[in-house]
A and B are shown apart, each in its own frame.
Chain A
Amino acid sequence: MTLRRSARAALLAPLVLSAFALPAALSPAHAQVTDGTAADITGDEPVSLRFAVEIGGEPFACGQSYTGIGRTEGAVAVTDFRLFVSELALIGADGQRVPVALDDDGRWQDGQVALLDFENGRDRCDNGTGPVNAQVSAQAPAGDYTGVEFVIGVPFDSNHGDPTLAGSPLNLTSMFWNWRGGYRFLKVDMVPVGGMAAHGEAPAHGEAVAHGGAMAEGKGTGHGGKMSHGAAPAGAWMLHLGSTGCTSTSRTSAPPEPCAQPNRVTVEFDAFDAASDLLVIDPAALLADSDLGTNTPDTSPGCMSFPGDADCAGVLPRAGLAYGDLPGGEQQLVTVRSGAR
Chain B
Amino acid sequence: MMKRFVLPGVLLASVACSSATAQGVEADTPDDGFVWQLPAWLPRPAVPEDNPMNAAKVTLGRHLFFDARLSADGSTACSTCHDPALAFNDGRPFSDGVGGARGHRNAQGLANVGYSPRLTWASPVLASLEAHALIPLFGDAPVEMGNVGQEQALFERLRADARYRDLFDAAFAERGGEVSLFTLTRALAAFQRTLVSADSAYDRYQYGGDADALSASARRGEELFFSEKAECYHCHQGFNFTDTFATARSGFAESAFHNTGLYDVDGQGSYPAIDQGLYQVSAEPRDRGRFRTPSLRNLAWSAPYFHDGSAASLDEVLEHYAAGGRLTVDGPDAGDGSRNPLKNPLVLGIRFTGTERADLLAFLDSLNDPGFVANSAFSDPWPAAHPAALDRRTALDNVPDNAAVAPQVRPDRTANLPWLLAGCLFLLSLVALLRARADLSAVSPTSRS
Cβ contacts B7-49/A at 8 Å (1 or 0 each)? 0000000000000000010010000000000000101000000
- Binding-face segment, B142-150, B219-227, B411-419, B428-436: B219-227
Chain A residues near B227 (CB-CB < 8 A):
207, 211, 214, 251
A residues in contact with B238, CB < 8 Å: 163-164, 171, 173
CB pair B348 A108 closer than 8 Å: no
A:164-198 near B, CB below 8 Å:
164-165, 167-169, 171-174, 176, 178, 195
Q: Does B103 count as interface, using CB distance less than 8 angstroms?
A: no
Is the C-beta of A205 less than 8 angstroms from some C-beta in chain B?
yes
Residues of B within 8 A of A224 (CB): 351
State in angstroms the CA–CA spacing of A163 and B340 once bound together: 32
Contact B249 A164 (CB under 8 A): no
Contacts of A163 in B (CB 8 A): 237-238
Q: Which of A129, A131, A208, A304 is most buried by chain B, counting CB atoms within 10 A of its CB?
A: A129
The reply to whether A168 and B252 form a contact with Cβ atoms under 8 Å apart is yes
Contact among A127, A205, A250 with B345 in the assembled complex (CB-CB below 8 Å) = A205
The reply to whether B222 and A250 form a contact with Cβ atoms under 8 Å apart is: yes
In the bound complex, residues from chain B placing their C-beta under 8 Å from that of A124 are 286
Interface string of A122-147 (1 = CB under 8 A from B): 00101101010000000000000000
Known pairs A211-B227, A224-B351, A300-B228; A234 contacts B343 (CB<8 A) = yes
Are A127 and B252 interface neighbours, CB within 8 A?
no
Q: Does B106 contact A (CB under 8 A)?
A: no
- Minimum CB–CB distance from B58 to chain A (whole Å) comes to 24
Minimum distance in angstroms from A127 CB to a CB of chain B? 4
A236 interfacial contact with B, CB 8 Å: yes
- State the CA gap A207–B350 with chains docked (Å): 9
A233-255 near B? 1/0 per residue, CB < 8 Å? 11110100000000000111000
| A71 proximal to B (CB < 8 A) | no
How many residues of B are in contact with the other chain, CB < 8 A?
Answer: 49
Residue in A closest to B233 when the chains form the complex, CB atoms:
A178
Q: Are B324 and A229 within 8 A (Cβ)?
A: yes
A232: which of B41, B226, B239, B338 is its contact (CB, 8 Å)?
A: B338
In the assembly, what is the distance between CA of A226 and CA of B330, in Å?
Answer: 27
B338 / chain A contacts, CB cutoff of 8 Å = 229, 232
Give the contact stretch, choosing among B65-73, B254-262, B395-403. Answer: B254-262
Residues of A within 8 A of B339 (CB): 229, 231-232
Q: Which residue of B lies closest to A232 (CB)?
A: B339
Interface: A106 (CB within 8 A) = yes
One of A127, A168, A229 near B251 (C-beta < 8 A)? A168
In-complex Cβ contact of B348 among A176, A226, A231 (8 A): A226
- Contact status of A167 and B252, CB under 8 A, knowing A205-B348, A229-B339: no
Give Cα A301–Cα B199 distance, bound, in whole angstroms: 36
Query: Within the complex, what minimum Cβ distance (angstroms) separates A76 from chain B?
Result: 14
| CB-based contact A107/B251 at 8 Å | yes
Assess whether A176 is in contact with B237, with CB atoms less than 8 Å apart: yes
From A299, which residue of chain B is reached at the shortest CB distance?
Answer: B228
Pick the residue among A162, A176, A227, A304 that contacts B349 (CB under 8 A). Answer: A227
Give the complex CA separation of A124 and B243 in angstroms.
Answer: 18
What are 20 A-B pairs with beta-carbon distances under 8 A?
Answer: A106-B251, A127-B243, A127-B258, A165-B43, A168-B251, A169-B251, A171-B247, A171-B250, A174-B254, A212-B228, A214-B227, A225-B351, A226-B229, A226-B351, A227-B323, A227-B348, A229-B339, A234-B343, A236-B345, A252-B222
Q: A162-B207, A207-B228, A232-B343 are in contact. List 11 more A-B contacts (CB 8 A).
A: A106-B27, A163-B237, A171-B250, A205-B346, A224-B351, A226-B351, A232-B341, A234-B345, A236-B345, A250-B222, A306-B228
